[in-house]
Amino acid sequence: MKKFQILVDSASDLKNDYLDGLDIGFKVIPLTIHAGEKEFIDDDNIDIDAMLEAMHACKKSTSACPAPQSFLDEFDKAEHTFVVTITAKLSGCYNSAMVAKQSYEHGENVHVIDSKATCGTEVLIVNKLVKLINEGLSFEEIVAKIEEYRDSKSLWFILQKFDNLVNNGRMSKIAGIIASKLVIRPICIAYEGEIKMLKKIIGIKNAFAKLVQLIKEKKQDYSEDTLIISHCKAEEEAKSLKADIEKECNFKEIQIMPMRGLCSYYALEKGVILCH
């Protein structure tokens, strides 16, 4: 049995081999996307193109969080377990993991972390957990440090389609109509786990330029920070953003990651999310 393991939901965009080679247990707990009569499990084998095609072809699509048992089944595989989830304000994953913890005989050895965000923020939290574990900290010491680290993170995003955010109540219908119909590209942030519209910019190029400026203004020194750019079918846009940010900010590292099922479901084609 391993001393530590990390469980993360599939909103992280990670695959199950992410921590291969380390003496830390790791598993991605998948969400599920329903598009009409088709079901897509957001695991390592999900076909994103097929999922998006099915979504656009049907009248109604939904996402579903994992059942508590999906988490509970994993707890006995390590002495101590950390669970990282998508924001509790937008998904039931956190609550599901908490139910599992409360049902577990040794629940005091499980710590559930609400990322208050999604995708890259979850990745950064996983990376920080690995660092703290490798430094030899105890379970209790890591618990004390990881929430503070989570609260230091920022998430920005620019989408070009808002259908599923509006249809599933994650964004107001008025905001969605404004963004979709008036060629306005809002820059949004995660604030206390909820989606907030920060700026309304006309045109996608202007929106990307403003986003780079906002990141530059937020902090003077990024030399210790990693930035993760997650995208749904927007690799060229992500590469362009990376190049522009590298000119303006001194991030230690900038990674580009394609979105998996759950994030693609909400961001849709050409959506980008930046986390640091």
233-257, pLDDT tens digit by residue?
999 999 999 999 999 999 999 999 9
Least confident of 115-129, 171-185, 256-270: 171-185
Between 184 and 13, name the one with better pLDDT.
Answer: 13
- Beta bridge partners, 231, equal 258, 272
Of 38, 6, 70, 12, the C-alpha closest to 262 is 12
DSSP classification of residue 58:
S
The rounded mean pLDDT for the chain is 92
**The pLDDT value given to residue 187:** 87
Phi, psi for 119 (deg, rounded to 5): 30, -105
Of 158, 133, 144, the C-alpha closest to 26 is 133
Alpha-helix residue ranges (DSSP H) falling in 80-234: 93-103, 119-134, 139-151, 163-167, 173-181, 204-218
pLDDT of 90 above 60: yes
Radius of gyration of the chain (CA): 18
CA terminus-to-terminus distance, the chain: 33
Q: Are the C-beta atoms of residues 93 and 9 closer than 8 Å to each other? A: yes
Neighbours of 5 (CB within 10 A): 22
Average confidence (pLDDT) over 19-47: 97
Phi, psi for 220 (deg, rounded to 5): -80, -40
Average confidence (pLDDT) over 56-66: 91
Of 168, 142, 163, the C-alpha closest to 268 is 163
Q: Are the C-beta atoms of residues 88 and 94 closer than 8 Å to each other? A: yes
pLDDT of 175 above 70: no
Instruction: State the pTM of this model.
Output: 0.93
What domains does the chain contain, in order, with CATH numbers? 2-31+66-151 (3.40.50.10440), 155-275 (3.30.1180.10)
Quick one: pLDDT band at residue 173, thresholds 50, 70, 90? Answer: low
Q: What is the three-class DSSP state of 79? A: strand
Neighbours of 198 (CB within 10 A): 15
Average confidence (pLDDT) over 97-122: 97
Residue 274 parent element (H or E): strand 272-275
Edge-to-edge strands, sheet with 226-231 = 194-202, 184-191, 155-158, 272-275, 226-231, 253-258
Quick one: pLDDT band at residue 198, thresholds 50, 70, 90? Answer: confident
Q: What is the three-class DSSP state of 270? A: coil
Using a pLDDT cut of 70, give the percent of the chain over it.
Answer: 92
pLDDT of 99 above 90: yes
DSSP classification of residue 75:
G
Quick one: pLDDT band at residue 148, thresholds 50, 70, 90? Answer: very high
Residue 110 parent element (H or E): strand 110-114
For the record, the structure tokens of 252 come out as: 């230690």
pLDDT of 206 above 70: yes
**The pLDDT value given to residue 192:** 82
Residue 111 parent element (H or E): strand 110-114
